[in-house]
Structure 1
């Protein structure tokens, strides 16, 4: 008999978690009777949602409202799955609970949180572990971090992320690439950063690394969002005479992100902390060489397919960027290794792992 599984789908637009649930869902719908909690108008935009039951629950993440909505809306089902650690605390009508904890960022960077954030993070994190029958994470690094900061004795299943190779590839027509370059006013030659301005993304050190170069940097994201989140970013850009060389794309349509990866000379990922790190794989699938931080999960995900730097060392970041840009053989080698590396990851394989584990819940 087909299991009935309800899934919290409200974070489908979030960068990492959204990519995760959207990548897995088409395969889960083939095996289970899936019910999604979220906003119907948004969910119906996905082709695979045609025959899926949707329960309206558009409450704000991490709020009291979400707790009430989840408790009321989650139907009687075999499994309720939270793709993030913000699980329902109140009783629900599911036989079993599953949760995916992508990283232990809020515990690893506990001192950077305000009082209320600390209280919420510690409480809900431990609740997610203790109340869930199945706990997934996305890398061995994240698994080790969860065990380190919580002392849980739960068995944590590692199921890696992947990418949509139908969208992220190097088979784009030149006319499509030229159109994207015009629409987002991209310079002719540029290196690329995809991410947000949260301190652990380490954009500041990347900007400092560009100070003694003539390189153009394209940042995929809204300029206003970056500046209001961290005024130091604007200050660094202005003080270091980078204004003419930093390009914010503004909002980028999903269909255009791959084109921008294709246009970039190099993708740079200076992050200090990642539970997995999908953008380097997206860049590799598009034939873009990658230079990358040697921190957290990134060596696990990227293997020997990128050139690593110390994310705390501005000169090392600069030198590694220049090394790849100045050496065509190295660029080609990284591209070839990148195409090999992405073969290790597949949403279909990851979904099969999750399905197998969930089917064993009796």
Structure 2
């Protein structure tokens, strides 16, 4: 097999779910010794292969992402005789001209389900491109049965042409000595106290308000000081989180360390007393699985794909009931043995997932697509 893969997500979106998926999938495919060629494409060094001697053709287009998609990529797919082309980032960037069978990975349909939580530019692109993506894709990979249900319901795409292939925590997420984590976090981030952790962005869909409200409820009831730590790049506008934190009277207990590189995230996960994921909707939900791979006791919203992925490895709460979350936080913070058992259950669940398995199942999808099954 000669397989082309759009690698832009691995370069541009590293640290996001799509970026992690694209990076790890390509990495694992490259490790396989199955006789196939897995060729990543991205608009960078690739331009060195352009034939600039055809000045008329070259000068009439803009060198950039659109040019790469509409001219360079279709030409390369034809020249190198690919059996299949795979676009991992929700199909966005699928070639305008189809040169071979095409597979796309649709992680979720959040723009259709929670359009108010998506940027206007991406929303417009998604609504414009997705009907064409559905029409021109020979097969779809998605990351959960929940997302598969959404795809079949919203677009009436044939269920038999959708393969559910789970994602996985990256190998860097593993149990670490808490004392080691606290040492690094103290030196680099001035974080030395016990803390509850959330990772996953600040979109309204992530339901941070519920977490802040529940934390405010229990923070003054816990005998020892406890903090809430939320890494990630926080949007400047609207600054509703800061206003809510001030209104709840917890400004001195909530920490925003800002962007944290992937190499440091395992220390945040493994050093936490608890990890909480209150999101209303996820196509898969990598952060809680990453926390569980680190052995961190994890609490998650009983919503969308999360129960399917996390199963009994997490403690569950209603994403619309802050009191239920507050009671769960208080219980696990004050019952060390129960917290320890929850962490062990989560670690066991996380071991069911691996990127090597993801790559193996993806190759099966490639084979079915090429054979016309």
* Same fold? TM cut 0.5: yes
The corresponding residue for 2:55 is: none
How far residue 206 of structure 1 moved from its aligned partner, in angstroms, is: 0.8
The corresponding residue for 2:167 is: 161
Whether the 8 Å contact between 2:15 and 2:262 is mirrored in structure 1 is no
The corresponding residue for 1:36 is: 40
Residue 39 and residue 184 in structure 1: after superposition, are their counterparts in 2 closer, same or farther (change >3 A)?
farther
Q: Secondary structure at the match of 2:149?
A: helix
How far residue 113 of structure 1 moved from its aligned partner, in angstroms, is: 6.1
What is the TM-score when the length of structure 1 is the normalising length?
A: 0.86
Whether the 8 Å contact between 1:209 and 1:318 is mirrored in structure 2 is yes
Residue 235 and residue 114 in structure 1: after superposition, are their counterparts in 2 closer, same or farther (change >3 A)?
same
The match for 1:212 among 208, 217, 220 is: 217
The corresponding residue for 1:150 is: 155
The match for 1:90 among 69, 93, 96 is: 96
Structure 1 unaligned regions, length at least 5: 42-53, 58-63
Residue 283 and residue 79 in structure 1: after superposition, are their counterparts in 2 closer, same or farther (change >3 A)?
same
Residue 169 and residue 111 in structure 1: after superposition, are their counterparts in 2 closer, same or farther (change >3 A)?
closer
Structure 2 unaligned regions, length at least 5: 50-62, 220-225
Q: Is 1:269 paired with 2:277?
A: yes
Residue 358 and residue 256 in structure 1: after superposition, are their counterparts in 2 closer, same or farther (change >3 A)?
same
| Greater RCO, 1 or 2 (C-alpha within 8 Å, sep 6+) | 2
How far residue 171 of structure 1 moved from its aligned partner, in angstroms, is: 3.6
The corresponding residue for 2:54 is: none
The corresponding residue for 2:67 is: 68
Residue 26 and residue 296 in structure 1: after superposition, are their counterparts in 2 closer, same or farther (change >3 A)?
same
Measure, in 1, the Cα distance between the counterparts of 2:199 and 2:118.
Answer: 24
Q: Aligned ranges for residues 1-362 of structure 1 at < 5 Å?
A: 2-10=1-9, 11-29=12-30, 30=32, 31=34, 32-38=36-42, 40=44, 54=46, 66-74=65-73, 75-76=76-77, 77-85=82-90, 86-88=92-94, 90-93=96-99, 95-110=100-115, 119-153=124-158, 155-165=161-171, 167-172=172-177, 174-175=179-180, 177-214=182-219, 215-222=226-233, 225-226=234-235, 228-360=236-368, 361-362=370-371
How far residue 33 of structure 1 moved from its aligned partner, in angstroms, is: 2.3
Residue 109 and residue 267 in structure 1: after superposition, are their counterparts in 2 closer, same or farther (change >3 A)?
same
How far residue 306 of structure 1 moved from its aligned partner, in angstroms, is: 1.0
Q: Secondary structure at the match of 1:17?
A: helix
Residue 55 and residue 344 in structure 1: after superposition, are their counterparts in 2 closer, same or farther (change >3 A)?
farther
* CA displacement 1:148-203 (0-9 Å, x = unmatched): 212222521000000123x1111458446412332112141000000111010011
Q: Secondary structure at the match of 1:211?
A: helix
How far residue 14 of structure 1 moved from its aligned partner, in angstroms, is: 4.8
Q: Secondary structure at the match of 1:213?
A: helix
Measure, in 1, the Cα distance between the counterparts of 2:314 and 2:153.
Answer: 28
Larger Rg: 2
Residue 217 and residue 171 in structure 1: after superposition, are their counterparts in 2 closer, same or farther (change >3 A)?
closer
How far residue 143 of structure 1 moved from its aligned partner, in angstroms, is: 0.5
Q: After alignment, is 314-323 or 270-279 more displaced?
A: 314-323
Whether the 8 Å contact between 1:37 and 1:55 is mirrored in structure 2 is no
